[in-house]
A = this chain, B = another copy of it.
Amino acid sequence: MAMGGNVKMFDYNKKLQYPINIKKKNLKFAKALVTQYGGPEGELGAAIRYLNQRYTMPDDKGKALLTDVGTEELGHVEMICAMYSQLTKGATIEEMKNAGLDVNYANHGMGTYPTNGDGVAWSSMYFSTTGDPLADLSEDMAAEEKARAVYEHLMDLTDDTDILMPLEWLRQREIVHFQRFKELYDEYKKKAIL
């Protein structure tokens, strides 16, 4: 019997898409940054949304685009988590308390956890799948616009270039993804493929 055997569907490469080298602890920023992990416009939700919506795209091109972007977003989750780890590395209890992270420490120690930054767990209520390609792609375009806006808000909150550079890179990726979704949306709309 032919089996996939040891070949896994997803391979993991120990290399971030864009390097994260944050040298200065910043616990308050870490708390806000978490929303791009597990908040309404965060990378976890983006990855799950796109990987979930693939199944009802009308052709291979659509399926491939969603697989490609969804898989890339899984790597962005890692970037955000790496940033969080570096921003909190070596923090003392006193520093955690001063930054308003006491509750976070009680629940998760020095661990990460996907919330909106206010301690609200991520939920798939944050995304939709209607099975209608135009509707789903319009949600995807909106998701990218909203993620861009949140990255801009986060960039307003700091002037540390070690933080700003990866955030700007991530922001640019959202714009690229928006463009790719828009092209497919326009193509489907024209072809009336649906």
Q: A residues engaging B (CB < 8 A)?
A: 1-5, 7-13, 15-19, 28-29, 31-33, 35, 38-41, 44, 48, 51-53, 55-56, 67-68, 71-72, 74-75, 77-78, 81, 85, 93, 97, 100, 102-126, 128-132, 134-136, 138-139, 141-142, 145-146, 148-150, 152-154, 156-157
In the complex, the answer to whether B19 meets A15 with C-beta atoms within 8 Å is no
Secondary structure at the A interface, as helix, strand, loop or mixed, is helix
In the complex, the answer to whether B112 meets A52 with C-beta atoms within 8 Å is yes
In the complex, the answer to whether A48 meets B114 with C-beta atoms within 8 Å is yes
In the complex, the answer to whether B111 meets A71 with C-beta atoms within 8 Å is no
In the complex, the answer to whether A19 meets B3 with C-beta atoms within 8 Å is yes
- Give A115 Cβ to nearest chain B Cβ, in Å: 8
